[in-house]
Amino acid sequence: MNKATAIAPANIAFIKYWGRKNASLRLPCNTSISMNLSASTTTTTVEFSEREKDEIVLLEEGGFSDAEVIRVVRQLDVIREYVGTTLRARVASKNTFPKSTGAASSASGFAALTVAALAALGQHISEKECTILARLGSGSACRSIPDGFVRWEVGVRSEDSFARSLYPASYWDLRDILVVVEQRGKDVSSSRGHDMVETSPLFADRLKAIPGRIARVEEGLASRNLSLLGNAIEEECLNMHHVMQTQTPALYYWTDRTITLMDIVPHWRREGIPVYFTIDAGPNVHLICEEKDEQRVLKRLKELSGIEQVIVNKSAPGARLVDTHLF
């Protein structure tokens, strides 16, 4: 049977991927580091057969846009070329979280698609190779394949820009409390944003500062030191957004509610709750804390207005095959 189903987590970047030195190969300008998210996943079933054309559906309200379907077909083409087949696919997908809200649906989506498509075609390839193929669909998707805490190497060529696990999910009981302040999809895709990065006068300095921040994040992870990790990831988040905001055209992903949260988190810390924020290409805020402080953070969030949804994520394993198909 040429059919397989995979589930893949979204991931939150502690060190962000922003800007690429080769757009078609999605080769990044810097190494990035992330954590997989347990409650923000995509499940995808792929079946190959002698059909006339690919059929792609998203099993949720709104479905896929035309542009998203084109991107999925392009990734199927990448896999068909890699495997050497002309078979067409039927693809169905569903998410456990709002699509296009900075919760990185493209990361979990392209990771699940790549793993399911390769398995449906009977391909057993190394995890490293699989991350390289997923990267061609969406850069950050490569980080959703290995387990737990993941590092994506900047690389010089396609073959050496791959992702690998630094620590398994069970290594550190961190929480990513995703605070959804807006369900609307983003106006400017991160793909377009990456292409304009050189227009920011701050970008060159960002690249110079990244190795130091990577060292702090890795040291924070190695010693399970949340204040070391948290301070580095907040600095990193602000730096990436400053670059986005000074690009031409400028990208402002924050809303007033995003800023309210960014403003209040340091107050909570001063009151004794160790929690740190980070934000990807969207308005929603990821609050990073340890399991022991989860309830205290959730209680504080209840006191705030304007929050649409709160999703509590644990650190999670990477993409994997499952037996239950969507069709």
Distance of alpha carbon 65 from alpha carbon 86, whole angstroms: 24
Given the complex with ligand PMV, which of 155 and 274 has the nearer CB atom?
155
Q: Give me the 30-69 binding string for ligand PMV, x by CB under 6 A, dash otherwise.
A: --x-------------------------------------
| 145 contacts 111 by C-beta, under 8 angstroms | yes
Examine residue 190 and tell whether it contacts ligand PMV (CB under 6 A).
yes
Q: Is 104 left (phi over 0), alpha (psi -120 to 50) or beta?
A: left
Among the listed residues 13, 132, 169, 233, the single contact to ligand PMV using CB under 6 A? 13
Contact 125, 118 (CB under 8 A): yes
324: left (phi over 0), alpha (psi -120 to 50) or beta: beta
> DSSP code of 315?
B
Query: What whole-number distance in Å separates Cα of residue 60 and Cα of residue 161?
Result: 33
Cα separation, 96 vs 313, whole angstroms: 12
H or E element that contains 214: helix 203-222
Q: Which stretch binds ligand PMV (CB under 6 A): 15-23, 39-47, 62-70, 215-223?
A: 15-23
Fill in the per-residue mask, 111 to 140: x = in contact with ligand PMV (CB under 6 A), - = not in contact.
Answer: ---------------------------xxx
Binding residue (CB under 6 A) for ligand PMV from 68, 176, 218, 280: 280
Contact between 16 and ligand PMV by CB under 6 A: the answer reads yes
234 vs 288: CA distance, rounded Å? 10
Q: Which is nearer to ligand PMV, 13 or 233 (CB)?
A: 13
What is the CB neighbour count within 10 angstroms for residue 183? Answer: 13
**From the list 214, 233, 281, 287, which residue makes contact with ligand PMV (rule: CB under 6 A)?**
281
Residue 231 touches ligand PMV, criterion: CB under 6 A: no
Of 158-166, 172-180, 189-197, 207-215: span binding ligand PMV (CB under 6 A): 189-197
Q: How far is the CB of 110 from ligand PMV (least distance, A)?
A: 8
Nearest approach, Cβ of 264 to ligand PMV (angstroms)? Answer: 22
Min CB(190)–ligand PMV separation in Å: 4
* Cβ atoms of residues 183 and 98 within 8 Å: yes
Do residues 250 and 203 touch, judged by C-beta distance below 8 A?
no
Give the nearest distance from C-beta 177 to ligand PMV in angstroms: 17
| Site size for ligand PMV (CB under 6 A) | 16
Residue 327 · residue 92 · CB < 8 Å: yes
Positions touching ligand PMV (CB under 6 A) are 13, 16-18, 32, 104, 106-107, 138-140, 190-191, 194, 280-281
